[in-house]
Chain A
């Protein structure tokens, strides 16, 4: 009876463990599926907001305009039809509120009941007009030509250089500056943090005496407990003006500021994990090396570091992971201008900062919302690639050592 009971309880605990790991896996899968489902939805959408039409006069030979052309037309950077393949004639812009320039309020009607006919007449009477208005005011026998707009394409999305998700009439969703910004800042952060972190870890595990270590380790771990907003504010108030003065820049909010703040944030992870790994080097191995006449430094880089390389890479991955996904601190110090950075001393905009700053105000399920989820997918893939690469490298290293 007793053994049965014991067996039963063992089985029960086993079941519980299985259940919790299944739930965790399912949750992760569910989140990934949700992310990709929402994110890929962006390619089913047109850049023009739902419920709006863009119309031309029916005599206009132009049949198609790209999203970028639309933006430039409505920003008055393109002012002649010849630039987009039409006749040589200046472009007249028309938005709904401009109707009062053409018709009096009585003609439009108190409840805007005549607005559809008025818009139709305006578009019909001006051969070089481009009109942007709500489908609600689209007349049944509309005299103009409704412009056909392509859905957002993969190519446009990944190679576009402009990020104006809320631009009207046509949203600009080019994620290239955001991807480059993210990689730029993370690369800078890891270049700063990795040597510094490794040096500190080696010092603490191999060189420092016990008393120094006892003070330093908790202090470094304390760094990990500081909320990222605090880092961000510290960066904005201290690091940003410092960079501005040092490099004599017009503006201090740059990729470098982000890299420094992220580097500091990644330090505790890198130091603690690689230090733990190094301390796990068997005493016998170290003593054998010293007994063979190797100096302390030779022992460190010939024995300790190679032995603990998997731990060090793990620390580095987690450090990079934190750098790439970090939101709040970067949001505050990098300036968030969506331009392709040429040096690290320019403002950049990262993917996590974009998602954090914009998701709250994007209308649920709309184009902007889906574009932000697509950004989340890109971030997910970047992190996945990094993890897989590092895993591959560290596995190969182990194999070589055997």
Chain B
């Protein structure tokens, strides 16, 4: 899935054209592709190339100058910032959309809601059986994304409050694999982006106020900010390149661009 070079559009128009390269997160990739497609319909003279590879790859390419915009599903790391500074460059951060993360379990599981503290216990390995959180006497099998994924970092920061996952957590290479595994493992729990929620799995209501209110993940609850597990998706570009990337970035932030965000399954920005 990774490192697949996807050149979506290479316009054949000659003359003055602005070429732009986007590289980075595989989470942002489908969104950026759709945005680029629609953008090119309007601005036929421009060129936009979108490639995946991961947030780290994108940000490294930004430092090397081999991409104009780095797509990232996590905030830029301190070490990457320092590298940019060492190269005498400064980057600008733009939030293009939000992604809501849903906690999912096997449909046969009768647990319907969990507090943040319970989730922390489950993912750090302190809670090991479903009966401790009101379910059947069944061992909990925790699925997570790979440690390099932006989703993993976000979940660790916001749900586990920076504690490390348990060593016994199973990590899967792709979101699709998590959905597949959870649908066939009775005691499973995991997290996926809202766009990946299917009927083979069950979402769990989450409470961030110690069990007073539980909110189910949905586009509506993510939009009105009542659902707590929502992360931003970023574009990073060099401040010196602002002029050439601005038209495309502005398009992504425009109402038209934000409509595409919703089509792809992410949560649009709210003013």
Of B159-167, B191-199, B242-250, B254-262, which stretch is located at the interface?
Answer: B159-167
Contact present for B60 and A363 (CB under 8 Å): yes
Query: How far, in angstroms, from A156 to B163 measured CA to CA in the complex?
Result: 22
B72 and chain A: residue at smallest CB distance:
A361
Q: A35 an interface residue at 8 Å Cβ cutoff? A: no
Mark B78-101 against chain A: 1 for CB-CB distance below 8 A, else 0: 111111000000000000000000
Distance between B56 CB and nearest chain A CB, rounded to angstroms: 4
Contact present for A253 and B56 (CB under 8 Å): no
Contact present for B148 and A360 (CB under 8 Å): yes
Residues of A within 8 Å of B181, CB to CB, are 236, 240, 253
Query: How far, in angstroms, from A331 to B181 measured CA to CA in the complex?
Result: 13
- Docked complex: A91-137 residues within 8 A CB-CB of B: 95, 134, 136
Contact present for B164 and A337 (CB under 8 Å): no
Q: B187 an interface residue at 8 Å Cβ cutoff? A: yes
Of A14-22, A48-56, A299-307, A311-319, which stretch is located at the interface?
Answer: A48-56
Distance between B178 CB and nearest chain A CB, rounded to angstroms: 11
Q: A250 an interface residue at 8 Å Cβ cutoff? A: yes
Q: Known contacts A74-B162, A166-B147, A167-B164; is A363 also within 8 Å of B54 by CB?
A: no
Distance between A50 CB and nearest chain B CB, rounded to angstroms: 5
Contact present for B169 and A337 (CB under 8 Å): yes
- Docked complex: B164-223 residues within 8 A CB-CB of A: 164-165, 167-173, 177, 180-181, 184-188
- Docked complex: A224-251 residues within 8 A CB-CB of B: 236-237, 240-241, 244, 250-251
Contact present for B139 and A364 (CB under 8 Å): no
- Report the count of interface residues on A (CB-CB < 8 A): 50
Q: Which 5 A-B residue pairs are closest in the complex by CB-CB distance?
A: A361-B148, A360-B54, A364-B60, A335-B170, A361-B56
Q: Which of A163, A164, A168, A253 contacts B170 (CB 8 A)?
A: A253
Distance between A12 CB and nearest chain B CB, rounded to angstroms: 38
Q: A309 an interface residue at 8 Å Cβ cutoff? A: no
Contact present for B80 and A336 (CB under 8 Å): no
Q: B271 an interface residue at 8 Å Cβ cutoff? A: no
Q: Residues on B close to A: CB < 8 A? A: 2-3, 53-57, 59-60, 63, 77-83, 124, 138-139, 141, 146-150, 152-153, 162-165, 167-173, 177, 180-181, 184-188
Contact present for B187 and A361 (CB under 8 Å): no
> Which of B60, B148, B188 has the most chain A CB atoms closer than 10 A to its own CB?
B148
Q: Known contacts A162-B167, A166-B153, A364-B56; is A134 also within 8 Å of B78 by CB?
A: yes
Q: Known contacts A164-B147, A252-B185, A358-B148; is A339 also within 8 Å of B124 by CB?
A: no
Selected A-B contacts with CB under 8 Å, 20 pairs: A49-B78, A75-B164, A76-B163, A162-B167, A164-B167, A236-B180, A251-B185, A252-B184, A253-B181, A332-B173, A337-B170, A349-B171, A357-B148, A358-B147, A360-B53, A360-B57, A361-B148, A363-B56, A363-B59, A364-B60
Q: Residues on A close to B: CB < 8 A? A: 49-52, 71, 74-76, 95, 134, 136, 161-168, 177, 236-237, 240-241, 244, 250-253, 331-332, 335-339, 347, 349, 353, 356-364, 366, 368
Contact present for B170 and A363 (CB under 8 Å): no
Residues of B within 8 Å of A357, CB to CB, are 146, 148, 171, 173
Residues of A within 8 Å of B55, CB to CB, are 361
Q: Known contacts A162-B167, A347-B170, A358-B147; is A236 also within 8 Å of B177 by CB?
A: yes
Distance between A306 CB and nearest chain B CB, rounded to angstroms: 44
Residues of B within 8 Å of A366, CB to CB, are 79
Chain A interface mostly helix, strand, loop or mixed? loop
Q: Which of A49, A166, A244, A361 contacts B54 (CB 8 A)?
A: A361
Contact present for A336 and B56 (CB under 8 Å): no
Query: How far, in angstroms, from A76 to B124 measured CA to CA in the complex?
Result: 11
Residues of A within 8 Å of B152, CB to CB, are 166
Residues of A within 8 Å of B57, CB to CB, are 360-361, 364
Query: How far, in angstroms, from A7 to B79 measured CA to CA in the complex?
Result: 61
Distance between A164 CB and nearest chain B CB, rounded to angstroms: 5
> Which of A161, A244, A335, A349 has the most chain B CB atoms closer than 10 A to its own CB?
A335
Residues of A within 8 Å of B138, CB to CB, are 250
B186 and chain A: residue at smallest CB distance:
A250
